[in-house]
Structure 1
Amino acid sequence: MASGRKHLLKVIILGDSAVGKTSLMNQYVNKRFTQQYKATIGADFLTKEVMIDDKLVTLQIWDTAGQERFQSLGVAFYRGADCCVMVYDITSSKSFDNISSWKDEFLSQSNPKDPENFPFVVLGNKLDKESERKVANAKASQWCRDNGNMPFFETSAKDAINVDEAFQSIARNALSQVKEEEEYKPTINLSGGKKDKGQKKACC
């Protein structure tokens, strides 16, 4: 039986330009893919309701620009994130090498309470271009193990490969983060009404 309380989870997607961040988000939320590339300006977000372990969860997925000139916009968009998704292109070694920088950028901008245990998920996108692969699965898997055993998926936004599975993992990891925070922020019922200290704001 589903829990009556809704959870709003803020998810940030980071990565170099053209790795497929927007395409992954659109494939997951709208089941749609387009070959036309249009760079994200600043940031945009979509929402989707999902059931995770009998809990109704609203994912607020933020797609941020990969261009360096927009990174200074990060603080407002990163604040309050429950999970960070880092995306690289399996046909681009540089995009994989930059994952570490994106992780450092996120931790610096968002300043989470417990950076050592903050949930990150890594996606190696464009699996439909296997013949052009430059980043070995084993190499990426090892990097994720060495950096806190991050969940890792290889995906194709174009062919919808592992996209739903990846975002299920993202939602589950984000929800676990919220649960831990709520242990220190109990709901308190007051005579004048209900006050929930653990309630998350809808946006940044």
Structure 2
Amino acid sequence: MSNKKRTILKVIILGDSGVGKTSLMNQYVNKKFTNQYKATIGADFLTKETVVDNEQLTMQIWDTAGQERFQSLGVAFYRGADCCVLVFDLTNYKTYESLESWKDEFLIQASPKDPENFPFVIIGNKVDETSKRKVLHWCKSNNNIPYFETSAKNAINVDQAFDEIARKAMKQENQEDQINQNESRVNLSKCC
């Protein structure tokens, strides 16, 4: 048995209803796709054990409902997240326009310690026609958020996107551990 610590990462997937959040998660975790659309009610999650950059990880991937009526549940699901994935449908420009509001809503409800540097990854799902230049510009103007065009149906770039998500989440967790260690040292020096 290995003495190596297994890192657990909490990843939240957000985006409008019907963009393929559940399909992406199922393709990544179960290597399966279905054409039958079934809206997520509230939230669901799957776990996947993987190795990224020689580190063993368990990813808890939280799939949240895209309908506005379920957004009030967000605060309970978003807390403690290590990375947030914003998904839009490449064939529906309106879902791309919603990215900013999903990002803002996540930051408000999750209240991360360092919102400016919290890790996000953008996934344009349902590879088709879109203005890639506009998406890349938005990502660049939002702290160089990584961008992937995927197809959950055909398993295009799904693994690569989730590997980047894991890297971002690991970096976030390591930074938070360092901050907590520094805060503990400061508190000890004050008391003793």
* TM-score (ref. length: structure 2): 0.91
Give CA-to-partner distance per residue, 1:121-171, whole Å, 9 cap, x none: 0000001xx2xx2x3111101110010000100000000000000000000
Map 1:52-201; keep pairs closer than 5 Å: 52-127=52-127, 130=128, 133=129, 135-186=130-181
Q: How many residues align?
A: 180
Task: Give the direction of change, closer, same or farther, for the CA distance of 1:3–1:173 in structure 2 (3 Å limit).
Answer: farther
Detail structure 1 runs of 4+ shifted over 4 Å in the superposition: none
The 3-state SS of whatever aligns with 1:185 is helix
Shift of 1:94: 0.5
**Alignment partners' CA distance in 1, 2:3 and 2:113:** 27
**Alignment partners' CA distance in 2, 1:21 and 1:77:** 15
The structure in which a higher percent of residues are helix is: 2
Which amino acid is 1:120 matched to? F
**Alignment partners' CA distance in 2, 1:155 and 1:53:** 22
**Alignment partners' CA distance in 1, 2:3 and 2:151:** 32
Which amino acid is 2:166 matched to? A
The 3-state SS of whatever aligns with 1:178 is helix
Which amino acid is 2:142 matched to? N
**Alignment partners' CA distance in 2, 1:114 and 1:3:** 31
**Which residue of 2 is the match for residue 8 of structure 1?**
8
Which amino acid is 2:22 matched to? T
- The runs of 5 or more residues in structure 1 that have no matched partner are 187-204
Which amino acid is 1:97 matched to? E
- The runs of 5 or more residues in structure 2 that have no matched partner are 182-192
- Contact 1:3 1:56 (C-alpha < 8 Å) held by counterparts: no
**Which residue of 2 is the match for residue 27 of structure 1?**
27
**Alignment partners' CA distance in 1, 2:3 and 2:118:** 25
Which amino acid is 1:145 matched to? K
* TM-score (ref. length: structure 1): 0.86
The answer to which of 175-184 and 151-160 deviates more is 175-184
Map 1:28-47; keep pairs closer than 5 Å: 28-47=28-47
Shift of 1:3: 7.0
